[in-house]
Amino acid sequence: MLDYKKQIIRPFILASLLLSAALAGLLFAAIHLVHISRQAEQTDVLRIEAIKLHKAIVQVETGQRGYLLTQNVRFLENYRKGKADIKRITHTLNAQMIDVPDIKHRFENVSKLVEIKLRVTEASIQTEINSGAYAPHLNSAKIGVNIMDRIDTELEDIDDLLQRRKAELSDASRRALKQTMGGAALLLLTVIGLFTGAYYKTVRLFEIASTSQTTAEEMSHDAYHDSLTGLPNRRYFESYFRRQIFLSKRSGQPFSLFYLDLDGFKEINDRHGHDGGDLALKFATERFKNALRESDFIARLGGDEFVVLVHNYRSVSEIGGLGNRIIRYINQPFTIDGQHQLLGVSIGISCYPMDGQEADELLDAADRAMYQAKKNGKNRLVFSQD
């Protein structure tokens, strides 16, 4: 005789067990995904803050150099702001790195180097105040450069570690997502309504992943481009420059480096303030772009200094023609606050491999030629070998 009660209760109990197991699995997978998402967001925050820290250090260094070169106390405002930003960002990083001891150890090394860098810059400024122009360069220039190189290396290593951590979290997220889908599929066999809810949660997770990817791309762009002009920044230029030297050594193809420094920018900046100076820099950037060819690479090093890498030329006279074209394009009036303004540009040119086969040699040669152009009357170009 059939036990109808047992026949009815047994499937119900089995369905309840399956439902409970599916719910438990789905809940575990969802919690795991949330945990991974938080870790991924923390990794993005760490990368963003590390980039901000580098920018703040560069701001301190730029303020220091500007003051040492011009004795203009306005540069000290950037210097002090950079120091304040470093303190705030360091505090944020310390709080965020509690759960990542391997990266925290590397960051402690960066913090020590930053402390040394700040002491060196502060000492150079105090020496400038007490001892007169250019005195600090005798004591701190080489130390500051070496420390900055070490800081850049440490921050690049930290960024590599964070990228690897983000990749590991992405793999873990994909595995957890598969578990979520499996739980959702099991729920589909028991309760269609719960499966629908799991589906919407999964869609939301994809949206979060897409948003994180967009944030990472924007962060990468900001790290390698100047926020005012949109041009590649010093970090981007140095990487591009090293790659170009490597390629030229293999192919034997020459290239030229233009070191550009605006003439008359300081007067505009003093007369119209930082807003006027920003407008002048944007104007100069557009004129440079219009003068250059598509194959030429231009970057802003900082302040009113720019560099251009010139490829695909047939003769030195063609390089000179391009330099004079840049000068003509920049020598066009523009207005700030209804007043006509005029900029010039002094250009120093070095050529690979005649003026050097390493980045420092070519950059120094172009820099010296640029200062010779200023000495010769400004608004002109000078080749390194002249």
Which ranges constitute the DSSP H helices of 231-264?
234-251
Minimal CA–CA distance to 285: which of 225, 337, 369, 214?
Answer: 225
From 159, 304, 355, 367, active-site residue: 304
CB 67 within 8 A of CB 76: yes
Residue 101 falls in which region: left (phi positive, over 0), alpha (psi -120 to 50) or beta: alpha
Q: Is 14 exposed, middle or buried (0-12, 13-18, 19+ CB in 10 A)?
A: exposed
Distance in angstroms (rounded) separating the CA atoms of residues 383 and 361: 14
Q: Which residue type is seen at 172?
A: A
- 123 SS3 class: helix
Could you tell me the CA-to-CA distances from 120 to 96, 107, 143 in Å, in that order? 28, 20, 8
Told to judge if 304 belongs to the known catalytic residues of this protein, a careful annotator would answer yes
ω into residue 254 within 30 of 0, thus cis?
no
What residues are annotated to the active site?
304
